[in-house]
Amino acid sequence: MFRTLISLLVFLASVVPLQAEVAVPVGIFKVVNTEGFVQSNGERVALETDMSEGTALIERDAANRLNVEINGAQLNLFPLDRGLAALTWDANGTALLHDIDVRALFGKDDPEDVPAWGAELEWPGSGTVQLVLLPLGDRAYTAFLISHPRDKTVVRQMEFRQFYGPSDRPEISFSSSLTPAN
């Protein structure tokens, strides 16, 4: 009987597909706002480009949460059961990533198959916001910060990118006076 039970367990383990945990990047990231808009009374206005950079530390805990520290603020993001499908934003008429763009980056047809972490948070100056991070490869995230101050909707798209090497590295320039060695 015991041998039959072990054989059955081995068989089930070999035929039942095991869902692999999604690899997510962790560490220190540079954060930039790449795009955004404000919508009020049906009119949409693009946000000015903001080239300032922030710094974020992202860690993953045993409960599969992402613990994010951005410029000193501690945020805890939870895996979204419905993945990208849990996020709603209207990117029409903007340069923001659209749902179809994000799915293409992940090679997924169903938005529920795109992993995402998010939470509703209190954000200084914006009230309650929805922050969602979607991992892009092993060194980056794309993120959306969606808020509804007063009678407006504000959507910001952000990039979190890991950086390596010194930030004061000299620029490489090519001189036309250099000739290749024979």
SS3 state of residue 84: helix
pLDDT recorded at residue 171: 52
Tell me if 16 is assigned to some domain.
no
CA distances from 109 to 86, 147, 169 (A): 15, 27, 41
d(CA 161, CA 151): 32
pLDDT recorded at residue 175: 46
Q: What CATH number corresponds to the domain at position 57?
A: 2.40.160
SS3 state of residue 4: helix
Query: Distance from first CA to last CA of the chain, Å, rounded?
Result: 79
Residue 57's closest CA among 78, 41, 74?
74
d(CA 129, CA 50): 19
* Residue 59: domain span: 22-162
pLDDT recorded at residue 72: 82
Tell me if 27 is assigned to some domain.
yes
Q: pTM for this one?
A: 0.73
In what helix (H) or strand (E) does residue 102 lie, and over which residues does it extend? helix 99-106
CB 7 within 8 A of CB 1: no
Tell me if 91 is assigned to some domain.
yes
19-58 residue pLDDT tens: 345 678 999 999 999 999 999 998 999 998 887 889 999 9
Tell me if 89 is assigned to some domain.
yes
Tell me if 174 is assigned to some domain.
no
d(CA 177, CA 170): 20
pLDDT in tens, the chain (182 residues): 333 323 332 332 333 333 345 678 999 999 999 999 999 998 999 998 887 889 999 999 999 999 999 878 899 999 999 999 988 777 888 888 888 998 998 899 999 999 999 999 887 777 889 999 999 888 899 999 999 888 898 999 999 999 765 555 555 544 444 445 55
Q: Residue 152's Cα: distance from chain center in Å?
A: 24
Q: Report the domain count for the chain.
A: 1
pLDDT recorded at residue 95: 85
Tell me if 167 is assigned to some domain.
no
Tell me if 55 is assigned to some domain.
yes
d(CA 66, CA 27): 11
CB 102 within 8 A of CB 120: no
d(CA 76, CA 119): 7
Tell me if 93 is assigned to some domain.
yes
d(CA 133, CA 107): 17
